[in-house]
Chain A
């Protein structure tokens, strides 16, 4: 049985499944139950500076996007950092860490962008016995208007500066949590590294409006007839998060910087994907807010079974395995030619592939007598759209044309050698070089 225990920036946890800083980690009661359920670690809900706590709205905080049967695909929130007194949180963190020494307890922080504010809070956190801190530079609403959260995370210089302050004022490992609401995620990651960060974690939520009420004309969630932008998370953001994690993982300038993967992790499979793209562990929020803490049991068994099947003994064995296969478009093999193939035994004759290809793509699917859907090789560009719209799994597959075979679309023989855009005759860059 694969060993799921891991060590992330020196912090040990029995498995790579942590709870992200959010309502599930906002108090002792929750965190204790999460640990009992099997979670490997938590990042405590973000603490602010001493003084009267922030206040939340007293109307709805969440908006949502649903799929079939009201499956929650995405959640949007306008909640702020913890609204409980600093002292209460610190006290609870201390007790929980004392009772669960084998679990990771990291404390998320967000205080004003002045060194004294950080100097003041860091010793208090250290005093709890917590394993590390996470700097919340990600929150896209409410706090950013006050010069915190993503207002810091969007300016690499600030990230570097604050990270450095923290590193200078605490012995605890510092994880910088990044906002996805920027153009190129590599810059804040590089700034974190330059500031001395032990790791980055990402993504925080994506700025969003989930829906508009068509009776009241208010964005949702509506607070007395008005709405504001919130932060989007859950399964819908996973592709965005995966890309950002992978971009950092393969950036030579931030090479070796540990990454905690966050964003839409819902099943063991999502977690495994984050790990292969370079995340050292994952953090989960929406999935537990949807289904409760128990899902970690599926994550543990699923990841373990998959690792056993693949012969991976430890989590480290998995981390980053897919990174070398993540490349730029220009290096993709243009001599790799495939054609869509329809398995007539599996086809149920719905015609969706036809509608998609005929109406919107390459007119490469024919309806032959007997409602038989067949690919016209002369037209098929292998775009994969039919595969994606077909409701039957594995009914349409992309089959590779062997070298030497003539592609009926181009009339050209498939070449065995690898050839990419940089060497392609149509590339003006290539021509100029000649």
Chain B
């Protein structure tokens, strides 16, 4: 284990374990009680608060902050969970700088918003630390609903349905539930196995059965699900990744950023995780940032993110970009990869500079190369495993505002469904709203909603 950041190639244990522990510790350490009181006191209790409008799950932020300020964090947690049962993960993972905190009037006034995310974490952590589950189920309805995908969308949907008294079965193709909460969110945002603890806590409501290792379109088919259940919700996320269609993309060392992050999240021992000395990440979103930052934290010497357009077009927020820069990641913009060079394994990547022309992005006529032992592709995920019968729109399952798909009795939400940003919190909102719609549809007296065609939403 004499490796260090300068060890050539791809190597494990570049940093001593103490350094790794420090690097992967909580990015925003939790507030203690007094810090929470001080932070809560900054909230103005706005009328028709802009922060609430900016929250995809519409949490009553001024109310929960006032509940913290008056010494009742558990009441605050109920206010949060009423709208967002994954309020614990959202408090950690939400890009608050582009959501509630961006809209906060104190951000507008002083450039320093009320720390809504950390306050939310204080409240939810307080409640989750106690035994038991805060919600009780309504009288059993005898209705059964199938949820496919145990990510934030599926879990939020399942919880709301269970609360309304329905029986829910959640099918998921992975080993562990949680979706990208478990396999995607950066480690330093969700330390100490929080994702699993949260799933367990959520399931504490009862009435939800989870079937892992079960894949839709692969042993499980939609027709059968519809037949066996009163409704079906699809929250299968985006399981595929876009391919890098350039010469050398199949060389050893060219990997998916999402897979790299999933491995990292599942690693028992970070010092056993191999990382290149020179790492190049291609892309401009949250995944690119997370892959690059975590590469640095593992001990890679040189890490660069290369994005084909300008900084302002990156979907990663300015805050995320600055975070990457502060960890020593170089961000190169206006460059697209044209070729991966290597002899069996990758050695270099060649890029072409680009510029914004009249008809979109055009080549600037100059190339450069970056040394690379490892290349991570973070150029977008794609829908995979969606049943053919479903109508697709813009690469996603087409849904209306209530999450209804083109097939009666089938709802969808989260990343796999059309509309909304690809965020944990959006997935929660969509799962929750679909559950309400499923509940209302079932309660509308239809013995089997599947047999009730809806005007304008029939299969293609």
Contact = CB atoms under 8 A, between A and B. Distances in A.
Interface string A44-73: 000000000000000000000000111000
A123 interface: no
B216 interface: no
B44 A68 contact: no
Contacts of A392: 109
B49 interface: yes
Contact of B108 (A68, A70, A349, A355): A349
B273 to A, nearest CB: 43
A415 B49 CA distance: 41
Given A69-B37, A352-B46, A371-B50, 4 more contacts: A348-B109, A350-B44, A351-B48, A352-B45
B267 interface: no
Contacts of B46: 349-352
Contacts of B50: 349, 371
A316 B188 CA distance: 64
Interface in B18-61: 34, 37-38, 41, 44-50
B144 interface: no
A367 B48 CA distance: 10
Give the dominant DSSP class at B's interface.
Answer: helix
A118 interface: no
A354 interface: yes
B108 A351 contact: no
Contacts of A371: 50
A289 B37 CA distance: 24
Contacts of A391: 44
A69 B48 CA distance: 26
Interface in A332-378: 348-352, 354-355, 367, 371
Contacts of A349: 46, 50, 105, 108
Nearest to A359: B47
Contact of B47 (A68, A348, A352): A352
B439 interface: no
Given A348-B105, A348-B108, A349-B108, A355 B38 contact: no
B44 A69 contact: no
B106 interface: yes
Interface in B52-111: 105-106, 108-109
Nearest to B48: A351
Contact of A352 (B41, B44, B106, B108): B44
26 contacts: A68-B38, A68-B41, A69-B37, A69-B38, A69-B41, A70-B34, A348-B105, A348-B106, A348-B108, A348-B109, A349-B46, A349-B50, A349-B108, A350-B47, A350-B49, A350-B105, A351-B46, A351-B48, A352-B44, A352-B46, A352-B47, A354-B47, A367-B48, A371-B50, A391-B44, A392-B109
Closest 7 A/B residue pairs (Cβ): A351-B47, A355-B47, A68-B41, A348-B109, A348-B105, A350-B46, A350-B105
B191 to A, nearest CB: 28
Contacts, number: 33
Nearest to A69: B38
A391 B38 CA distance: 16
A351 B38 contact: no
Nearest to B38: A69
A246 to B, nearest CB: 32
Contacts of A69: 37-38, 41
B98 to A, nearest CB: 18
A346 to B, nearest CB: 9
Interface in A372-426: 391-392
A371 B38 CA distance: 28
A187 B106 CA distance: 49
Which of B38, B47, B50 has the largest number of chain A CB atoms within 10 A? B47
A391 B105 CA distance: 10
A351 B52 CA distance: 13
Which of B49, B106, B109 has the largest number of chain A CB atoms within 10 A? B109
Given A70-B34, A392-B109, A351 B41 contact: no
A391 B109 CA distance: 10
Contacts of B41: 68-69
B375 to A, nearest CB: 46
A349 B54 CA distance: 14
A392 B49 CA distance: 16
B44 to A, nearest CB: 5
Nearest to A67: B41
A351 B49 contact: yes
Which of B34, B46, B108 has the largest number of chain A CB atoms within 10 A? B46
Nearest to B109: A348
B115 to A, nearest CB: 14
Which of A350, A367, A392 has the largest number of chain B CB atoms within 10 A? A350
Nearest to A392: B109
A192 B45 CA distance: 49
Contacts of B44: 350, 352, 391
A354 to B, nearest CB: 5
Interface string B210-247: 00000000000000000000000000000000000000
Contacts of B109: 348, 392
Nearest to A373: B47
Nearest to B42: A68
Contacts of A352: 44-47
A44 to B, nearest CB: 37
Contacts of B105: 348-350
Contacts of B47: 350-352, 354-355
A98 to B, nearest CB: 46
B49 to A, nearest CB: 7
A70 B37 CA distance: 9
Nearest to A356: B47
A69 B36 CA distance: 10
Nearest to A68: B41
A352 B44 CA distance: 8
A371 B49 CA distance: 11
A243 B156 CA distance: 58
A38 to B, nearest CB: 32
B172 to A, nearest CB: 42
Contacts of B48: 351, 367
B438 to A, nearest CB: 35
Contacts of B38: 68-69
A347 to B, nearest CB: 9
Contacts of A68: 38, 41
Contacts of A355: 47
Nearest to B107: A348
A310 to B, nearest CB: 31
A68 B48 CA distance: 24
A367 B49 CA distance: 13
Contacts of A367: 48
B31 to A, nearest CB: 13
Nearest to A354: B47
A396 B105 CA distance: 16
B288 to A, nearest CB: 34
A350 B109 CA distance: 10
A351 B47 CA distance: 5
A392 B44 CA distance: 11
Nearest to A66: B37
Contacts of B37: 69
A349 B109 CA distance: 9
Contacts of B106: 348
A354 B47 CA distance: 7
B57 to A, nearest CB: 21
A371 B34 CA distance: 34
